[in-house]
Amino acid sequence: AVLLALLVVAAPAAARGEGPPVPGIERLTPEERQAARESLRRFRSLPPSERQRILQDFRRWNELDEARRRELQEAWERWERLPPERRERLLERLRRYEALGPEERERIDRNWQRWRQMSPEERERLRERWRQMSPEERWRLRERR
């Protein structure tokens, strides 16, 4: 995060491939300086549209309040701790969701909102009921959508 911040401080000039060294780089360890130089080199090698996207993302990040940034950072750290196979399953579900039509996505979103509004006890009762169902019953329930 520090390296990215330093990179973006100098990014307007860096995006053009010019400008003085990154301010504050002298406070970094030699390893961190090398990583910052490598990040800047990679940034400069990106197409202009990608550099602009990165800069816009960084600006949006800085517009968030501290509590939201902390929440997102914690979510990222939880994601990073997931086993690779779990991450891949989640990404596959996201890809399937994104491939759905608008009506189906709306139905899923409504169901998700209902699920989130349930108490933990209600959700556990539904999970248990699901576990008790036969595969045929589950299939019929899915088909009723």
Predicted confidence (pLDDT) per residue in 65-109, tens digit = 999 999 999 999 999 999 999 999 999 999 999 999 999 999 999
Confidence of residue 144 (pLDDT cuts 50, 70, 90): confident
Q: How much is the pLDDT for 26?
A: 78
Q: How much is the pLDDT for 86?
A: 96
> The dihedral of CA 61, 62, 64, 70: what is its sign?
positive
Q: Answer yes or no: are the C-beta atoms of 10 and 19 closer than 8 Å.
A: yes
Q: How much is the pLDDT for 7?
A: 54
Q: How much is the pLDDT for 28?
A: 84
Does 9 have pLDDT greater than 60?
Answer: no
Q: What is the pLDDT of residues 10-63, one digit of tens each?
A: 555 545 555 556 677 778 888 988 898 899 899 999 999 999 999 999 999 999
> The dihedral of CA 109, 111, 113, 116: what is its sign?
negative
Q: How much is the pLDDT for 10?
A: 52
